[in-house]
């Protein structure tokens, strides 16, 4: 019979990457089959970059939930590796050291964004009409091996990020619904595996979302929190020799419109496949038709790291039935109420319009 520590977490974060707490409280869970086992004390081992000998702390306490950070606070962008061990009461076994868990701090002030500026498209748009999706891209070179890379990003609207033709992360509708005048959430991604030696491309697709799309009761309003839509981002690279480099969103980026004619929380999306941009986030793509970008205002609310998990796709649901109605319409029945996107393949003459409308069943 034994007891072990099965999981370490920091504050309320399951994935403590880019969090906003510089002295994150630590929690752990137990598993095992030792009867009536209780903790009388615990040990913490904390390793930090540049410090060869880990710090060790012994605390006499039965607590294992949100225990205080035992040492000096972490700095923006700094990571620490933590292990825990619990000591049992008299005659009871101690646990082994837990598996290491990593916590990493995000960007805490505007200065930490290293000159990144919010950027919008240089193409003008009607402030009273739905906004077309905007594509941003920036090509950059990496001339030596990297140790790690991070992407810090938020949108004045909603974003999807790509690097070298591959989507970054699995969040959807990011950075989520919020009161932008009070707090503006940014997300942090580990993009180490996305970066290659040589030329690279980072790009974003931005839609209006809750930020400036039609929203609210009685027909709603547009641009409740602002106009235009845009992005704020910082790509940070740490090389194997310990040196660092950053790529901020600035006026050297390029932008263009694309196949997303409009995309709104309430009104759905209009997509023109004839305007698709294959390879738009890869090297060698021809950007001759792309325009520049323009600066937009810094977020009105406090820029903070996400304090909860993002919205994600969690399931794929296959179609259960196809119903042809007397009026000639086709009903696609998924057998349950759900929230999501429809994936379909279609064929037809160029310019054919396909309309999907969503409704709840009884």
Report yes or no on 256 lying in a domain.
yes
Domain boundary among 53, 80, 105: 105
**Bridge partners of residue 161, in order along the sequence:** 204
What does the pLDDT read at residue 361? 67
User: What's the whole-model pTM score?
Assistant: 0.94
pLDDT at residue 289 tops 80:
yes
Mean pLDDT for the chain overall: 94
Q: How far apart are CA 356 and CA 327, in angstroms?
A: 16
Number of domains in the chain: 2
- pLDDT greater at residue 12 or residue 207: 207
What does the pLDDT read at residue 362? 62
Based on the fold, state whether residues 223 and 301 are members of the same structural domain.
Answer: yes
Report yes or no on 361 lying in a domain.
no
Based on the fold, state whether residues 228 and 201 are members of the same structural domain.
Answer: yes
Q: How far apart are CA 26 and CA 64, in angstroms?
A: 8
Based on the fold, state whether residues 83 and 131 are members of the same structural domain.
Answer: no
pLDDT at residue 65 tops 70:
yes
Cα-to-chain-centroid distance, residue 176: 10
Assign 111 to helix, strand or coil.
helix
Query: Could you read off the pLDDT of 188-217 as tens digits, one per residue?
Result: 999 999 999 999 999 999 999 999 999 888
What does the pLDDT read at residue 18? 97
Question: Over pLDDT 90: what percentage of the chain?
Answer: 82
Based on the fold, state whether residues 76 and 160 are members of the same structural domain.
Answer: no
List, in order, residues 6 or more apart from 71 with CB less than 8 Å away.
Answer: 46, 55, 57
Based on the fold, state whether residues 61 and 123 are members of the same structural domain.
Answer: no
Report yes or no on 320 lying in a domain.
no
**Bridge partners of residue 121, in order along the sequence:** 293
CATH of the domain at 148: 2.60.120.260
Per-residue confidence at 308, pLDDT binned at 50, 70, 90? confident
Based on the fold, state whether residues 138 and 278 are members of the same structural domain.
Answer: yes
Report yes or no on 349 lying in a domain.
no
Show the domain range for 59.
Answer: 3-105
Based on the fold, state whether residues 227 and 296 are members of the same structural domain.
Answer: yes
What does the pLDDT read at residue 167? 98
Report yes or no on 232 lying in a domain.
yes
CATH of the domain at 30: 2.60.40.10
Report yes or no on 317 lying in a domain.
no
Domain boundary among 105, 129, 147: 105
Q: Which two tokens stand for residue 178?
A: 């919020």
What does the pLDDT read at residue 345? 87
Average confidence (pLDDT) over 288-293: 96
Domain boundary among 305, 325, 352: 305
Per-residue confidence at 1, pLDDT binned at 50, 70, 90? low
Place of tokens 């992005």: 231
Per-residue confidence at 147, pLDDT binned at 50, 70, 90? very high
**Bridge partners of residue 29, in order along the sequence:** 7
Based on the fold, state whether residues 175 and 63 are members of the same structural domain.
Answer: no
């Amino acid at each position: 019979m034994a007891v072990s520590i099965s999981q370490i977490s920091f504050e309320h974060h399951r994935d403590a990457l880019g969090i906003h707490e510089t002295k994150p409280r630590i929690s752990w869970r137990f598993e095992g089959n030792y009867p009536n086992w209780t903790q009388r004390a615990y040990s913490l081992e904390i390793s930090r970059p540049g410090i060869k000998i880990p710090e060790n702390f012994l605390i006499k306490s039965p607590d294992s939930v949100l225990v205080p950070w035992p040492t000096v606070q972490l700095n923006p962008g700094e990571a620490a590796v933590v292990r825990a061990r619990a000591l049992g009461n008299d005659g009871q076994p101690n646990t082994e050291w837990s598996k290491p868990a990593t916590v990493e701090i995000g960007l805490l002030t505007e200065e930490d964004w290293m000159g990144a500026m919010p950027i919008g498209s240089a193409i003008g748009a009607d402030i009273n009409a739905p906004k077309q999706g905007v594509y941003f891209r920036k090509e950059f070179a990496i001339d030596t091996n990297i140790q790690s890379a991070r992407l810090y990003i938020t949108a004045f609207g909603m974003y999807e990020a790509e690097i070298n033709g591959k989507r970054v992360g699995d969040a959807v509708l990011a950075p989520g619904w919020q009161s932008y005048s009070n707090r503006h959430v940014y997300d942090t991604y580990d993009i180490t595996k996305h970066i290659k030696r040589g030329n690279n491309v980072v790009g974003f697709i931005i839609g209006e979302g809750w930020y400036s799309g039609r929203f609210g009761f009685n027909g709603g309003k547009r641009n409740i929190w602002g106009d235009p839509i845009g992005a704020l981002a910082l790509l940070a690279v740490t090389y194997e020799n310990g040196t660092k480099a950053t790529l901020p969103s600035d006026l050297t980026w390029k932008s263009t419109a694309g196949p997303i004619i409009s995309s709104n929380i309430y009104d759905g999306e209009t997509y023109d496949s004839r305007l698709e941009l294959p390879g738009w986030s890869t090297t060698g793509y021809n950007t001759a038709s792309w325009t520049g970008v323009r600066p937009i205002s810094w977020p009105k609310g406090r820029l903070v790291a996400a304090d909860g998990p993002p919205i994600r796709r969690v399931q794929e649901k296959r179609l259960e039935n196809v119903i042809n109605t007397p009026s000639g319409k086709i009903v696609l029945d998924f057998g349950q109420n759900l929230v999501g996107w429809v994936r379909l393949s279609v064929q037809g003459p160029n310019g054919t319009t396909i309309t999907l409308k969503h409704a709840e069943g009884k």
